[in-house]
Amino acid sequence: MKPVIRRRECPDTGAWPDSLPPLLRRIHAARGSTCIDEAQPRLSNLLPPDSLGGMEAATALLADAIARDRRILIVGDFDCDGATACAVGVRGLQMLGARNVQHAVPNRRVHGYGLSPALVEELAALGPELLVTVDHGIACHAGIGAAKARGWDVLVTDHHLPGEVLPPADAIVNPNLPDDGFPSKVLAGVGVMFYVLLALRRRLRERGMLASEPDLSVLLDLVAVGTVADLVPLDANNRALVAAGLRRLRAGNGCAGLKALIEVAGRDAQRLSATDIGFAIAPRINAAGRLEDMALGIECLLTDDPSQARELAAVLHGINAERQGLQQDMVDEAESMLPRIDPDAVLPPALCFYDPQWHPGVVGLVASKLKERTHRPVVAFAPAEPGGDSLRGSARSIPGLHIRDVLAAVDHAHPGLMDRFGGHAMAAGLSLPLHSLAAFRAAWQTQVAAVLDPALLQAELWSDGELAADQLDRHHAELLRDAAPWGQGYPEPLFDGCFDVVGTRLVGANHLKLRLRLGSRQLDAIHFGGADACPVTARVRIAYRLAADDWRGGDAIQLIVVHREPA
């Protein structure tokens, strides 16, 4: 769908230091920041851990387990947020004196999502006394009930939205619990676990249980990766966590696994950005949980042996390449199901896809791609097991539509239609039997149509306005890069303007290189996947990002074209 370019309001307000360039003041102000502490928050600005609900009970459980040398089992999740949260939990508890910490993770195909009774049965062989869930648990009533029936204590750390009834855990830490006063509701699962460790360190200190004060900031590389990967909004609190983690990674102080993943992805650690995490590092970790077993990803994040880390990173790199091919095939098949894909296509307000040959670990990516292509909320399903009658689905939304609330409304109107569901405003997961698919599709489309403002179906690109010719240089490109982290809720700067086209050439299968002119300046630009976007005219209007061209080096820059149309 052809987007409309709109320009952000850039209020000239706020208390900014003279050292901050005017371009950055304008960009930060357009994102709601009014001072440098909001625009570029530091760890000293973090919200206090004790302001997060459930900490008293959670830290009491953990402190008692450490004091009594009880067997602690951390149960992760099979995405990047869950894997990093698991690694942070294991590493952090060991730093705080726990001598008996193990970890486990469900296999997507074998156990399904979260702590299930089947997984609990397998975990019994490990003999846990305290079970800690990370990045899941708030919807795992049956699994937690099974764990409690075995006499285990259970601590849930999660950030997903709760249902009307909470699970029977001994303690729950989740900023999205009703009446929780924690100001930031957008911590990722790894952020919640990191906060638990901060609060536990304080409790152990007060009890006199710490011989020395461990520096938990060494875990922030993992916190940054999980936070960016989960696409939670980067409010000031999350930006402080991500920025600190990026500083560690750029300084070469990340854990062995992340350093190996940066290397195998071909990224420059010294210039690593949140975009690199989102598009290069996180997908390689995620690939393990999508196609194989996330235990591989967690093992990579936990090893301190550089040689083993490189071996595991190479395996993850190979799995990710397989995932990319499978994803492209599934996206192509999904697009073939649409009546037609063109700028004038008339599509229903919500889309639902299913193919019996699809892989359940990749349907979330298919839903994301089709959502981007059509600017419609999308849910994609695959068999939970090859040839099985149970389906697993992933839903992705557009701004302005709370996707989990839609699923909750469907469940309220049609009890029992879905076996389970959960998630966030922009992404959710669900499962249902194959025979319910047609009924779900109808209920899904009806509910979306009932609550969605049709105006939201117009795709928009929000621009930070024009850049003058003298701002299109390496200095400003590096200013923008180093002012990060940019991400969900605090988007990377995007500009628009009109340029003369001096020349074009095709790169790869479908990428378009352009030589543009603005006044007397000639500039290189690339439009990834843009060869067929629209005919090349003598003058174009583009929405673009200004980037340093590290491949050519020196003062070289290039414009990364996001959208192109005739001027």
| CATH, domain range 461-566 | 2.40.50.460
pLDDT tens digits along 390-408: 999 999 999 999 999 999 9
pLDDT tens digits along 163-218: 889 999 999 999 999 999 999 999 999 999 999 999 999 999 999 999 899 999 99
Q: What's the mean per-residue pLDDT of the chain? A: 94
Domain with CATH 3.10.310.30 in the chain: 338-457
* Strand partners of residue 354: 381
Domain with CATH 3.90.1640.30 in the chain: 44-318
| CATH, domain range 44-318 | 3.90.1640.30
Percentage of residues of the chain with pLDDT beyond 70: 98
Predicted TM-score (pTM) of this structure: 0.92
pLDDT tens digits along 278-295: 999 999 999 998 888 899
Section 416-433 average pLDDT: 92
| Model confidence band, residue 524 (pLDDT cutoffs 50, 70, 90) | very high
Domain with CATH 2.40.50.460 in the chain: 461-566
What DSSP state is assigned to residue 389? Answer: S
Contact 6, 460 (CB under 8 A): yes
Angle between helices 256-264 and 306-337 (to 10 degrees): 50
pLDDT tens digits along 312-356: 999 999 999 999 999 999 999 999 988 644 445 578 899 999 999
Supply 391's token pair: 């389906």
The Cα 342–Cα 170 span in angstroms is 53
Q: Can you give 394-413 as a three-state secondary structure string?
A: EEECCCCCCHHHHHHHHHHH
DSSP for 67-105? Answer: HTT--EEEE--SSHHHHHHHHHHHHHHHHTT-S-EEEE-
| CATH, domain range 338-457 | 3.10.310.30
pLDDT tens digits along 144-174: 999 999 999 999 999 999 988 999 999 999 9
